[in-house]
């Protein structure tokens, strides 16, 4: 985005290297592992300070699983998650605790992610109690400050989550995420459960908080129009793999991967006089339990060739715009 033209050459805040997250598929009388579901299969990406990286793809592509691995709600099967000089993937639960202050998460459904038996004040105070921060009076003052920051009255602290609308509950979730002044926030489809009119309010709030608190975001979504509004760079995932990455402007202007082109063609054009040719992908998304050989997209790609069926393409740089590389995992220049 033009107003956030920060120096992209600075050192990474978070670097993921060849991350894999395989889940055992159990069956039989003794429920033994019969196969593996390869939800994330060798993903690498970088997030820099003050940057928003949008992560997009169809449901089931592994983007939410990747986000949960970063905050260690999932223990990765292999790979590295480098943050602040430590590999989070290898830390024990106790070793991970100090880093949790710097990496927080906003969940998709605020109704499920907020404890309905606790008041909002108790929910927002809990992070300070867990990390032993402040006296009771200081914690309460901080809770009131957080509520004002996200546009809610201080009196909201005495109410329960079910007494608020969906947009207000998501504001409470955002307040909880920024309570400990994190450096990175993983946003797992934070506006997909909200009405369109409320989505813009929440997105603008997140942009304001990013400027004020110098936050970095990993913004996970399936709505590419929303991702374009908030992201500096966009990473496209398919079946557990990264297939393309570029600046937000470039990936919309000149997508290089057939899957990215299909996603962009599905975005509605808000002008009845303009028409966009829709690319309809044939077939279904393969199962991550038994993924195809070679390129993971070859079973649905309109440009498939024999090489695609046997050889998996590596991410390669095809262009550089404003210092940001555009990389695509495809054998051919389409």
pLDDT at 272: 76
C-alpha 209/C-alpha 203 separation (Å) is: 10
The enclosing H or E element of 251 equals: helix 248-253
**What's this model's pTM, rounded to 2 decimal places?**
0.91
Q: Which residues of the chain have pLDDT under 50?
A: 1-9
Tell me the C-alpha to C-alpha distance, in Å, between residue 195 and each of 19, 202, 251: 34, 11, 26
Q: How high is the mean pLDDT of the chain?
A: 91
How confident is the model at residue 5, as a pLDDT? 44
Radius of gyration of the chain measured on its C-alpha atoms: 21
Domains of the chain and CATH, by start: 2-102+180-328 (3.40.50.300)
Residue 10's pLDDT is what?
A: 63
Within a 10 A sphere around the Cβ of 277, how many other Cβ atoms?
Answer: 6
Give the chain's largest Cα–Cα span: 68
Taking only the tens place, the pLDDT of each residue in 64-80 is 999 999 999 999 999 99
Q: What is the rounded CA–CA span in Å between residue 39 and residue 22?
A: 6
Q: What is the pLDDT of residue 2?
A: 42
The total number of residues written for the chain in this structure: 334
pLDDT of residue 329: 97
Query: DSSP string of 31-98?
Result: TEEEEEEEEEEEEEEEEETT-EEEEE-STTSSHHHHHHHHTTSS--SEEEEEETTEEGGG--HHHHHH
Q: What is the pLDDT of residue 30?
A: 78
- Structure confidence at residue 49 (pLDDT): 94
Strand ranges inside the chain, DSSP E: 12-27, 32-48, 52-56, 78-83, 86-87, 103-106, 184-188, 216-221, 233-238, 241-247, 316-321, 324-328
């Amino acid at each position: 985005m033009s107003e956030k033209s920060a120096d992209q050459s600075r050192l990474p805040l978070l670097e993921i290297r060849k991350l894999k997250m395989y889940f055992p598929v159990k069956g039989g009388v003794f429920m033994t592992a019969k196969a593996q579901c390869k939800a994330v299969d060798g993903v690498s990406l970088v997030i820099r300070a003050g940057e928003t990286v949008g992560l997009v793809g169809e449901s089931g592509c592994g983007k939410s699983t990747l986000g949960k691995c970063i905050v260690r709600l999932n223990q990765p099967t292999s790979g590295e998650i480098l943050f602040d000089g430590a590999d989070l993937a290898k830390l024990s639960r106790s070793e991970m605790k100090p880093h949790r202050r710097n990496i927080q998460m906003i969940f998709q459904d605020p109704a499920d992610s907020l404890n309905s038996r606790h008041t909002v004040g108790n929910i927002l105070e809990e992070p300070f109690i867990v990390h032993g921060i402040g006296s009771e009076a200081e914690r309460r003052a901080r809770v009131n400050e957080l509520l004002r920051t996200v546009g809610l009255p201080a009196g909201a602290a005495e109410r329960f989550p079910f007494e608020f609308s969906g947009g207000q509950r998501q504001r409470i979730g955002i307040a909880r995420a920024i309570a400990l002044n994190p450096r990175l926030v993983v946003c797992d489809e934070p506006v997909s459960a909200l009405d369109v009119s409320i989505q813009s309010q929440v997105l603008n709030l997140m942009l304001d908080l990013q400027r004020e608190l110098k936050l970095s975001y990993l913004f996970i979504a399936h709505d590419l129009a929303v991702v374009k509004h908030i992201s500096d760079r966009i990473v496209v995932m398919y079946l557990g793999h990264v297939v393309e990455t570029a600046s937000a402007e470039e990936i919309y202007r000149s997508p290089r991967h057939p899957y990215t082109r299909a996603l962009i063609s599905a975005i509605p054009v808000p002008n009845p006089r303009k028409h966009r040719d829709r690319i309809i992908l044939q077939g279904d998304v393969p199962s991550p339990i038994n993924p195809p050989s070679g390129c993971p997209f070859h079973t649905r790609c309109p440009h498939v060739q024999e090489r695609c069926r046997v050889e998996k393409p590596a991410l390669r740089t095809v262009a550089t715009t404003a210092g940001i590389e555009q990389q695509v995992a495809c054998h051919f220049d389409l």
